[in-house]
Amino acid sequence: MQRLAIIVLAGAVFAAVLVARLPAAWVLPALGPRLTCARVEGTLWRGECAQARLAGVTLDQLAWQVHPAALLGGRLAADLSARRAGARASGEVSVRWHGPLQARDVHALLPLEPALLPALPSYITGVLEADVARAVVTRTGAVEQLHGTLIVRRLIDSSGSVTPLGSFRIRFPAAPGEPRGQLRDLGGPLWLRGTLRLTPQPGYVLHARVAARTGASPSLLQALQYLGAPDAQGRRPFALAGTY
């Protein structure tokens, strides 16, 4: 009986060591086409993938560090970081079985381009900076909770003439209910104040008031005329809704 216990204990230790040192290169192919790597280094618990392709997006590097203790609570949690030319992102991501995806301490710098944000029109360009304390995304892709700040810099509309719009900030407070962000400009040719609400479809509803500042381009002045008559301060209502 004692010998059997020793054999079982030795087998358990061997299995634990094997799992702890399991090379990531053995496991990643099981994910199929969802994630491919030109070169894999490290273990299942801590490693990196060079020249990765994830969900149709090509990355120079994808790195991870799994938190084993989270597994005891029924969660898969890991620190992730990714980078490609002109873009980088990092944060902690966790998920429960059949539960929503949760992210914490997310910091990102991304160019606004369809390769990274497929729902974005190709004629809109700029740079997105994200500093998100917490986000919860459902399995349908809806943003259920969001607490953080998003800044879009050097936004340009090239649908007709090249029209610089300026830089803008959205702050989402930690509050119950649908995420509702306060939107304002950070200077530039377009004055803007408004709110952005994220809905369960998943979708969004934007309500704002806008005005052109002195020195705005003729194309921007012309575009604002389609929004209707301005109020006494020269501001016009602007509303937009859609799904993603």
List the chain domain ranges: 1-84
**Structure-derived torsion over alpha carbons of residues 187, 188, 190, 194, reported in degrees to the nearest 10:** -30
> Tell me, what's the pLDDT at 161?
85
- Helices (H) then strands (E): counts for the chain: 4, 14
Interatomic CA distance for residues 132 and 118, integer angstroms: 21
8 A C-beta contact, residue 202 and residue 142: yes
Q: Which residue has the tokens 């609570």?
A: 73
Q: Let me know if 168 is exposed, middle or buried by CB neighbors in 10 A (0-12, 13-18, 19+).
A: buried
Looking at residue 243, what is its pLDDT?
Answer: 87
76 CB contacts (<8 Å, ≥6 apart)?
66, 70, 94, 95, 96
Task: Report the candidate in 92, 91, 127, 88 with the shortest Cα–Cα distance to residue 108.
Answer: 88
Q: How far apart are CA 40 and CA 98, in angstroms?
A: 28
Q: Residue-wise pLDDT tens for the chain (244 aa)?
A: 444 333 333 333 333 333 444 456 655 565 556 778 888 888 888 999 899 888 778 899 999 999 988 888 888 899 999 999 889 999 999 998 888 999 999 999 999 988 777 778 888 999 999 999 999 999 888 999 999 999 999 999 998 889 999 999 999 999 988 999 999 999 999 999 999 999 998 999 999 999 999 999 999 999 999 998 999 999 999 999 988 8
Of 219, 228, 223, 132, the C-alpha closest to 173 is: 132
Q: Pairing relation of β-strands 101-111 and 87-96?
A: antiparallel
pLDDT of residue 148: 98
Global pTM? Answer: 0.84
Amino acid of residue 116: L
Among 89, 88, 64, smallest CA distance to 78 is for: 64
What stretches of the chain show up as alpha helix (H) in DSSP? 2-20, 24-27, 68-72, 218-225
